[in-house]
Amino acid sequence: MNKSNAEAIEQFYKLVEENMDNGMVYRDAIELAAVTVGGLITAKVSQAMAKYQEAIHPQSHLSQEEDTDALALLSMGVLWDNTYFNPIEPDPSTPLENTLAESIYFIMKYGREEDGLNKALEANEKTVGDVESRAEAIRRVLGKV
C-alpha cells in the first residue's frame, strides 16, 4: 500500500474525531470527513454505507442470513443477489482501505444501539480479517459517542 493512502486514512479518522469534538453525530462526522478527504476514502465510505443499508434492510436477503456481518464483509463491493453472490477477489494492495470500509460498516450497524461500542467490537471479533485494526478504528469513533 502506498503511503499516501495510509496518510489519507489517518487524515479521515482525525477529521471524524474533530467533527465529533465539535458536536457532530458520528454518521455526519464520517460523511463530512469522507467528502473532505475525497478520492478512495469517499469510495470506501460509500461502499460501507451501502452494505450497512443492505444488511439492516428487513427485506434484503443479506439481513435474513445468520452470519450477516461476516457475509457483509465478504461481499463488500458487490450487492447481495437473492441467495448468492459472486465475491470479488480482494486486492492485496489495499488492505487498509478495505479495513476502513469494514470498520465503517460496524460503526454504522452498531453505533446507535445501547452499548454500541461493545456490540460493534463483539461483532468485529466474530469475523475474519484485520480484527485489531478494525477495533482500533471502531474505538476511535464510537469511543467518542
Give me the residues of the chain with pLDDT under 50, please.
Answer: 1, 82-93
* Residue 64 C-alpha from the chain's centroid: 20
Per-domain residue ranges of the chain: 3-142
The residue written with cell numbers 458520528 in the block is 26
Instruction: Identify the pLDDT of residue 98.
Output: 86
pTM of the complete model beyond 0.85: yes
Instruction: Identify the pLDDT of residue 77.
Output: 62
